[in-house]
Structure 1
Amino acid sequence: MEHSSIKELETEKEILEAFSIIKQLRTHLNENTYLDLVTEAKEKDNYKLYALIDDNEIVALTGFKPMITLYYGRFVWVCDLVTDTRKRSKGYGEQLLAYVHKWAKEYNYESVALSSGIQRKDAHHFYEDKMNYQKVSYVFKKRLV
């Protein structure tokens, strides 16, 4: 990790280079849908996509967006956080989430929030035990199509 850096992915080429990693988390996406959603989210929702690059290779990604709600106030919502399955347990997720915390503080956001699938027990331990997140709610979803 001595040669690692965190970089915002802004061009179509950069975004597409990250697809093989995001696909590990968002298995339902194909490359075209992924690109369309990231592009629209960046334009309409101020979505940010950052890569952790180690030895010139993307090893982890986070996607987040600043938001304001009556419940949370000014906060950053982490939409995506994934480390390449071949590179896990090396501190990459922690480094990216710490970067999101720093970004949020720099832009005067009060907190960082995220949701995690019920089945992702290892992720829950990471958020609660390693990153000191508190479980504050359940997230419910209803498909309309």
Structure 2
Amino acid sequence: MATLKVGLVSPEREVWSGEAKMVVAQTIEGSLGILPGHAPVLGVLLDGSVVKIEPADGGAPVLAAVGSGFFSVAANEVSVLAEQVERAEEIDVDEAKRALDEALTAEGEDATPERRARARLRAAGVEA
């Protein structure tokens, strides 16, 4: 079975790397589902979205909330390079709910804090 070599990284650390069956990411142009053999792609990640990786070994999907960054696919290699990355199991749900409440009550037109808080909750499996 063909697989993808995947790297999910932030400036601070490599968050996940390994072989995967599929990667799903949200770019500013829409959602992309990547399978082995996919054509080359370079996209800008939607700030405040969730990346899903299905490991080739059949393990549990890797879910991560991501901030701004880039997504590239070439020769069965997928790189997700994001300024902020937080895996589902690292997310403090209570803190993410507080951040969402603060973003919803804040004055201003910047929707980034709200999108990021909602992405963190979605990655953690909580509907927001």
Is this a same-fold pair by TM over 0.5?
no
Structure (1 or 2) with the greater strand fraction: 2
TM-score by length of 1: 0.29
Normalised TM-score (structure 2): 0.32
Give 1 or 2: higher helix fraction. 1
Greater RCO (Cα-Cα under 8 Å, separation 6 or more): 2
